[in-house]
Structure 1
Amino acid sequence: MNEMLSRAVTGAAAVARGVRDDQLDLPTPCDDFDVRELLGHLAWTAAMFEALARREQPPPQDADHAPFAERAAAVLAAWSAPGVIEGTSPTLGMPMAMVLQMVLGDMAIHGWDLARATGQDYAVDAETGEAVAAFVTATAPQGRRMGVFGEEVPVARDASPFERALGLSGRDPAWKP
């Protein structure tokens, strides 16, 4: 799982570094965010997921955070610590292994959102796509109730596992700005 997380986080960070100032107001496939807001969300989620790995209280959402691309290494270091996926998150009350799946899904899907919005290349390898699809499939109904996922978007019968995950999360894999 750590290799998949590394690929997802470093891929999303590379896309974040590639965003130009003139792209900040562009829409994204994630209806709640334009590019600027998505970068801010990624920065906050990186800080939150780093804190959760350390079993600390996450920072408030409106706090100032270092840019996501700068936080990527800290997130990876925190989730690479020995024993990090053992036990239950004291903050979320769920198994740490499930929290790690949340991190993977969030990084892979939002990395895709950002790449699509800004016209950058972004690929999710088959192993990561399968893992994200399994997590989103298991959590989509609850995610919709919580407002984390949108309504399911139908995808092609031959869609990849990651494209199925995108559809289940409320994104159209064919989305273009």
Structure 2
Amino acid sequence: MNDMTHAHMKEAAREAARTARGATGSPLNTPTPCGAWDLRALLNHWVLYTAHGLEHRALRTAVPEELAARDFAAEPDWAEAYAAQLDRAVAAWQAPGAWEGDIDLGGSAMQATAIASMVVKEMVLHGWDIATATGHHYDCSPELAGFVLGVVEEYAEIYREYDGFAAAAPVPENATALERALALSGRDTRAAAGASPA
């Protein structure tokens, strides 16, 4: 098992669950820092890929089609259900075999370690999007932030090719690793500076 990446995954999942609970009750049409996606669209993407998708990748099983059409954000207990699903996903990656070989993405394949790293990145960046949109503070250790920055640096241009990232945003010289990762992925942390911590 890749112990370091799994440790980052566990931390990101804990903060994702906390962020989800903080977002409950927020209007689902709230704009987010994530392009044209409102809170409903972003929450549904986040829940699908960082919890259900994460578990299915570890198990090498396809994500059921009905999950892709499910409006998780409309369910009254979505945050608690998401937290429970995150626990299952993280537990699935405790199996040493989950980290071995490639994962079929439907027409292409990628190393399991790379997939896990990219999902952790999604968990953190979209977690920050949701916390910012709902007026909350996003917590991230320097170690996790540095890991996410490394993933963003490695894959930013590929994401941009498929419109997954916007153009890199300006970032001050004294920016933290998380701020640099956010800026490199196209998020303007200066515009979100007015969000009130909670």
Q: TM-score, normalised by structure 2?
A: 0.82
Q: How far apart in 1 are the matches of 2:97 and 2:116?
A: 12
1:65 deviation in Å? 6.8
Does residue 63 of the first structure (1) align with residue 69 of the second (2)?
Answer: yes
Q: Name stretches of at least 5 consecutive residues in structure 1 with no aligned partner.
A: none
**What aligned pairs does 1:25-174 form with structure 2 within 5 A after superposition?**
25-45=29-49, 46-60=51-65, 62-64=68-70, 67=78, 68-91=82-105, 92-174=108-190
The answer to whether the 8 A contact 1:47-1:59 is kept is no
1:90 deviation in Å? 2.3
Give the AA of the match of 2:172.
A
Query: In the superposition, relative to structure 1, how do residues 2 and 97 fare at CA in structure 2: closer, same or farther (>3 Å)?
Result: same
Q: How far apart in 1 are the matches of 2:15 and 2:91?
A: 16
Q: How far apart in 2 are the matches of 1:105 and 1:119?
A: 21
Q: For this pair of structures, how many residues does the alignment match?
A: 177
Larger radius of gyration: 2
Q: How far apart in 1 are the matches of 2:129 and 2:92?
A: 24
1:3 deviation in Å? 1.6
The answer to whether the 8 A contact 2:26-2:134 is kept is no
1:52 deviation in Å? 0.9
Q: Name stretches of at least 5 consecutive residues in structure 2 with no aligned partner.
A: 73-77
1:3 to 3, 7, 25: 7
Question: How large is the RMSD of aligned CA atoms in angstroms?
Answer: 1.7
Report the counterpart of residue 75 of structure 2 in structure 1.
none
Q: How far apart in 2 are the matches of 1:22 and 1:127?
A: 30
1:42 deviation in Å? 1.2
